[in-house]
Structure 1
Amino acid sequence: MEKTRVCVIINPVSGTESKKNIPEEVASAFDQTQFDVIIRITGYPGHATEIAKQAVKNRFAYVLTVGGDGTVNEVAKALVNTDTVLGIIPFGSGNGLARDLRISIDSEKAIQTILEGNVRTIDYGSANGHIFFCTCGVGFDAFISDKFAEEKKRGPLGYVRNIVEGVVEFRSEEYEITHDGGTLNERAFLLTCANASQYGNEVYIAPGADMEDGKMNVSILKPLNPNEIPQTTLQLFTRNIDKNSKMISLLTSNLIIRRKKPGILHVDGEPVNTEKDIEVKIFHKGLKVLAPKQVEEKPLKERENIFTAITRWINV
């Protein structure tokens, strides 16, 4: 009987936790009479994509990624529109896709989800050819992703600190936005195209987003006054940003963003330089991923520590 082939791709530098026990933990979890597990360690940016492409070529059934959102993106974009299934063991600072799929950030529980074998087929997006699975965008979130990329220590507090500090120096831009229903012109603080509901770190920019509906939720937040920043920040963490009076929400399959000059675009939290015009598309059910069957909302009380942290940073 031929064994099921599993490739495990580990990014040794993502996140803040050590991964030295992960190879043994993953390998021992699989029944060696049924599975052939190989483990690969990434050595440079883009290496995970190369390994994943080779795994697809060699007809591996599963490719498991151990790392953060950047590593997940590198691996997943090599698996789109193939029969190879993605598994995620989150070890990043944000873990946006894992959190939205309700994959535990505890490695033992994440491995258990993989072993349960439930496959969901989700959408993915493309912005000027850059593939994303959670969000892409321009404006303040792209500005923050550029700053956050330089952080030595990541996590919710670093993210909130960059938000608070970045507001002072950031300047909103004018955008022409063409979607399935027409065109509008807006000066925006941020413009986010969301396949998933959050950026990561439980920061929800599009609470109603559904990764299996063939659409993107576009969140256009108009310029904010300084006194509106604390409430807006809390709304991002409490899934209430869509109730903000400065928010315009669109649901579309295609989007063209026109701005006055080239600049930063973030793709799943990673900053990239791109042209002044950006074409964003959603591709329906293009990625197979191992994830829990039940999608249960996380109790609000479990996020109280984050609220406390936000309040502390806002009051500094």
Structure 2
Amino acid sequence: MHNQKKTITFIINPISGTKSKEALPSLVSQHIDSNLYDCEIIKTQYAGHAAEIARQCAADHKDICVAVGGDGTVNEVARSLAHSDTALGIIPCGSGNGLARHLCLPMDMKQALDIINIGKTDHFDYGVINDQPFFCTCGMGFDAYVSLKFAESGKRGLATYVENVLKEGLTYKPDTYIITDETGEHQYKAFLVACANASQYGNNAYIAPEASMQDGLLDVIIMEPFNIIEAAKVGFDLFAKTLKNNNHIQTFQACSIHISRNEPGAVHFDGDPTKMGKEIDVRIEPLGLKAIINPHHTQDEAKAGKVMNNISKTIDKILVG
């Protein structure tokens, strides 16, 4: 008696992300082993449809549910699969692709399919901010603004992005935050507060370079106000994975924190901006998400070097101009 085939559902959001997805159906038939898998491809038809399809995949005990789109689609699918035995797969088509990059998944559609075909999975933590699940980062203050800019940055290129964001950031007013964790209450005057489950916002900007998605802990990053000269260094550190050494940054880890701020206002989770009140709770759900992983786990160092070179040039430009 032969083994039953595994099932994969591809959820395509035709309007999300930056890459065309028209080639996907033919790529699926070329790269996914039809002896091992039965595949279906469903296109979303309205906002929230990806979440509904993914919930149904979990209810039907599908083996793998693949989000094909930008960070918003990935978040929608992932939150619907949390605490189920259906694994999240990602074909990254956005500009930031934070979760895919943290998991070292290929940005190339064909290579991403090859990883799904291997079918190796693992379990990962996810975060919750006031009952809203997130998988990479959430934050407030300038962070909500930064992540929003990041979501839009793909079309404009990284160098322009860094320059614009840092210059605009200098007019941003710091706020006072009271953060309570297991060790007690601490007050900070901060430019931004970020809580990271994964290491980056996307586009290889590492807000929490040492964050692990399997340690049951949030990495909390407090960025204190800085001037235009220091802004360039902050930008550099963000891409060089050296933010922790910056003297405007304080970091600590916690399973959960409570944040009090003076006014209600913007927050973001995985780059999705929204408004929340003065009191905010953030916590980790340990190993609540099953996801496809890259067993080869190689990162493109040459590309990272090229990005760093561009950032250095941009910083010189800011300092000179």
Is 1:8 the counterpart of 2:10 in the alignment? yes
Counterpart contact for 2:125–2:287, Cα < 8 Å: yes
**1:111: how far off?**
1.0
The range that moved more, 133-142 or 34-43, is 34-43
Structure 2, gaps ≥5 residues long:
none
Q: Show CA shifts across 1:200-253 (max 9, x none).
A: 100001111110010011111111122100011000000000000111111100
**1:149: how far off?**
5.6
Is 1:279 the counterpart of 2:275 in the alignment? no
Counterpart contact for 2:147–2:201, Cα < 8 Å: no
Query: After the TM superposition, which residues 76-87 of structure 1 pair with which residues of structure 2 at under 5 Å, given as runs?
Result: 76-87=78-89
Is 1:306 the counterpart of 2:284 in the alignment? no
Identical columns (%): 41
Distance 1:289 1:254, change over 3 A: same
TM-score (norm 1): 0.93
**1:4: how far off?**
1.9
**1:177: how far off?**
0.5
Number of aligned residue pairs? 315
AA partner of residue 207 (structure 2): I
Distance 1:279 1:264 in 2: 14
Distance 2:17 2:159 in 1: 14
Counterpart contact for 1:144–1:166, Cα < 8 Å: no
Query: After the TM superposition, which residues 22-61 of structure 1 pair with which residues of structure 2 at under 5 Å, given as runs?
Result: 22-61=24-63
Distance 1:60 1:158, change over 3 A: farther
Distance 1:80 1:60, change over 3 A: same
Query: After the TM superposition, which residues 155-194 of structure 1 pair with which residues of structure 2 at under 5 Å, given as runs?
Result: 156-157=158-159, 159-194=161-196
Structure 1, gaps ≥5 residues long:
none
Counterpart contact for 2:95–2:151, Cα < 8 Å: no
Q: Show CA shifts across 1:264-312 (max 9, x none).
A: 111011111111111001011010111123545553x432332343344
Counterpart contact for 1:94–1:155, Cα < 8 Å: no
Counterpart contact for 1:147–1:162, Cα < 8 Å: no
Distance 1:313 1:45 in 2: 37
Q: Show CA shifts across 1:67-95 (max 9, x none).
A: 11111100000000000001111111011
**1:167: how far off?**
1.3
Q: Which residue of 1 aligns with 2:206?
A: 204
TM-score (norm 2): 0.92
Matched residue SS, 1:200: coil
Q: Show CA shifts across 1:10-39 (max 9, x none).
A: 122223221110122123322334322111
Distance 1:17 1:298, change over 3 A: closer
AA partner of residue 94 (structure 1): G
**1:131: how far off?**
0.6
Distance 2:122 2:95 in 1: 24
Query: After the TM superposition, which residues 52-131 of structure 1 pair with which residues of structure 2 at under 5 Å, given as runs?
Result: 52-131=54-133
Q: Which residue of 2 aligns with 1:266?
A: 268
Distance 2:303 2:57 in 1: 38
Q: Show CA shifts across 1:147-188 (max 9, x none).
A: 556779365345424413421431111100011222110011
Matched residue SS, 2:282: strand
Distance 1:296 1:252, change over 3 A: farther
Matched residue SS, 2:90: strand
Counterpart contact for 1:192–1:220, Cα < 8 Å: yes
Matched residue SS, 2:14: coil
C-alpha RMSD over aligned residues: 1.9
Distance 2:33 2:197 in 1: 35
Distance 1:73 1:282 in 2: 16
Distance 1:220 1:128, change over 3 A: same
